[in-house]
């Protein structure tokens, strides 16, 4: 089941009490159809963290650059590259809805955004379950804070994400399928040190809530 409260927030609606009847009906209808259509998949791979002139994942030839990812991995011994997607079928589903109207497309796109976050959370739960003794943090995606988008192809390659679950990236570093999340989860012996906030959200510059002097409770 897709979390409709989160989907409404992506639509710019702060809570379900403010949703008009037509939008609520469309969300209910398309939510069921999206679940039946999408093919959610995820993959992850755990690496030892190597520090020295930057943060590196053992066996990888690239650094995890930026203060944001350094803070995210503070206190972590290991890190996992996590790649999740709703599949190309989801992109086609959203495009088909768009033919019917702008509201239909907004509803479907927002439902898919909420759904892929749930799948990414499922990946983290699976990661934690299979790494006894460790806590796993939420997935810090490339593009959050000052963690550069340019690292996306390297992260995807490190987990063989294109071959295994069909995730790739364009030359402009846009993920394909569009409803995908690729990033880093930290593994530590204690509780994760960071939480989602406006400061590390990749929607910070275009957020409707920030423009209204508010914040999104789904990400705070």
Q: How does pLDDT run across 154-208, given as a tens digit for each residue?
A: 999 999 999 999 999 999 999 999 999 999 999 998 765 555 555 545 445 445 4
**pLDDT recorded at residue 52:** 79
DSSP states of 99-115: HH-HHHHHHHHHHHHHH
46-105, pLDDT tens digit by residue? 999 998 778 999 999 999 999 999 999 999 999 999 999 999 999 999 999 999 999 999
What CATH number corresponds to the domain at position 33?
3.40.109.40
Residue 217 domain-assigned? Answer: no
Residue 62 domain-assigned? Answer: yes
Q: In this structure, are residues 85 and 11 in contact, taking their beta carbons and an 8 Å threshold?
A: no
**pLDDT recorded at residue 27:** 96
Residue 219 domain-assigned? Answer: no
Residue 218 domain-assigned? Answer: no
Which residue range forms the structural domain that includes residue 23? 4-211
- How many folded domains does the chain comprise? 1
Conformation bin of residue 156: beta by default, left when phi > 0, alpha when psi is -120 to 50? alpha
Residue 175 domain-assigned? Answer: yes
The partner residues of 42 in beta bridges, in order of sequence, read: 84
Helix axes 88-100, 102-129, angle to 10 degrees: 160
Residue 9 domain-assigned? Answer: yes
**pLDDT recorded at residue 162:** 97
Whether pLDDT at 37 is above 60: yes
**pLDDT recorded at residue 207:** 53
Residue 160 domain-assigned? Answer: yes
Residue 216 domain-assigned? Answer: no
The partner residues of 156 in beta bridges, in order of sequence, read: none
Please tell me the pTM assigned to this model: 0.87
Q: Where are the beta strands (DSSP E) in the chain?
A: 41-51, 55-57, 78-85, 135-136, 140-141, 168-169, 175-176, 180-188
For tokens 């906030």, the residue is: 197
For tokens 């989160």, the residue is: 6
108-124, pLDDT tens digit by residue? 999 999 999 999 999 99
How far apart (Å, rounded) are the C-alpha atoms in residues 173 and 164? 19
What percentage of residues in the chain have a pLDDT greater than 90? 79
Residues in the chain: 220
């Amino acid at each position: 089941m897709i979390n409709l409260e989160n989907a409404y927030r992506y639509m710019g609606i702060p809570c379900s009490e403010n949703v008009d009847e037509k939008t609520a009906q469309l969300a209910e209808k398309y939510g069921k159809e999206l679940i039946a259509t999408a093919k959610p998949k995820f993959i992850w791979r755990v690496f030892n963290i190597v520090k020295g002139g930057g943060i590196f994942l053992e066996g990888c030839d690239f650094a995890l650059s930026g203060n944001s990812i350094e803070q995210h991995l503070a206190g972590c011994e290991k890190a996992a590259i996590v790649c999740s997607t709703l599949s190309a079928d989801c992109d086609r589903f959203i495009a088909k809805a768009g033919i019917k109207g702008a509201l239909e497309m907004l509803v479907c796109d927002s439902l898919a955004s909420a759904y892929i976050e749930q799948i990414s959370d499922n990946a983290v739960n699976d990661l934690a379950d299979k790494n006894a003794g460790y806590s796993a943090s939420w997935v810090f995606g490339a593009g959050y804070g000052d963690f550069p988008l340019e690292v996306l192809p390297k992260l995807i390659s490190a987990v063989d994400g294109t071959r295994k679950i069909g995730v790739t990236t364009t030359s402009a570093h846009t993920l394909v399928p569009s409803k995908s999340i690729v990033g880093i989860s930290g593994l530590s012996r204690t509780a994760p040190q960071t939480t989602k906030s406006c400061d590390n959200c990749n929607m910070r510059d275009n957020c409707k809530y920030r423009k209204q002097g508010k914040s999104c409770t789904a990400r705070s």
